[in-house]
Amino acid sequence: MFYRTKLNDHIRVPPTYFGLKKEEAVTKRVKKKYDGFISKEMGIVIDVSKINDIREGIIIPGDGAIYYDVTFELLCFKPEMQEVVIGKIRDIADFGAFIQLGPIEGMIHVSQTMDDFVSFSKEKVLSGKETKKVLKVGDKCRARIVAVSFKEVSNPKLGLTMRQEFLGKFEWIEEEKEGGSKKKGKKEEKKK
C-alpha cells in the first residue's frame, strides 16, 4: 500500500550546493539521502513529495557544510499482508513466477499460480494440465500478498498467491466473471 510519511531529519548541505537557493539545495540533499531507501517501518521510499519546514542551519567547525533541521513528506510503498496487488510477470522459473509490483518484485510459487497441476516449459511458460490456463512473461496479473520478509532490509521478499477467486491473469478473471454470470442466468431461467 502507498503511504505519505512525515519525517524530521538533520540534512547536510555541502559547500558545493551553496550557490543554490536554500530550498533547492535542501530538496536535492533530502532526495539524494532518501530516494530508494528501504526500511521495515516505512517500506520503500518512492519519492520526496514535499518539504514542509527548513529551520535555521548550523555550521559544525571542521566540516564546512550546513546542517538544517528539516521536516518533509515521503511517498512510500509498504506491502501489507493479505493486500491485493496488480503487477506484470517479469520472469518464470520451474519453481514459480516473479511479478513486478511497481518498486518491488514478488514471487508466486508454482503451487500458488493456479488450482491445477502446473507444468513448466523451456519457453518460460507455466501451464495448467486440466484448465489449459497459461502464464507467461509479460502477463498482467492480480495477486494477494501472503508473506512479507524484511530479513535482508536491502532486498525485501514478498510471497504471493493467485489461487483465489478473482485473482490471477486478467484474462482468467474475465473468464471467471463471464462463467459466473452464465451460471447465474441459467439458475434464473430454471426458477421461471
- Is it the case that residue 44 has pLDDT exceeding 80? yes
Q: CA 139: distance to chain centroid? A: 17
pTM greater than 0.85: no
Residue 94: exposed, middle, or buried by beta-carbon count in 10 A (0-12, 13-18, 19+)?
exposed
What digits encode the pLDDT tens for the residues 8-33? 999 999 999 999 999 999 999 999 99
Only one residue has cell 519453481, namely 95
Residue range 152-156: mean pLDDT, rounded: 82
Average of per-residue pLDDT values in the chain: 88
Q: Count H helices, E strands: the chain?
A: 2, 14
Domain boundaries, the chain: 2-77, 84-180
**CATH, domain range 84-180:** 2.40.50.140
pLDDT in tens, 85-138: 999 999 999 899 999 998 889 999 999 988 889 888 888 888 888 888 899 999
Please, which pLDDT band fits residue 180 given cuts at 50, 70 and 90? low
**CATH code given to domain 2-77:** 3.30.1490.120
Task: Give the per-residue pLDDT at 192.
Answer: 53
Residue 50 CA to chain centroid, in angstroms?
A: 21
pLDDT at residue 131, as a whole number: 86
Quick one: pLDDT at residue 147? 94
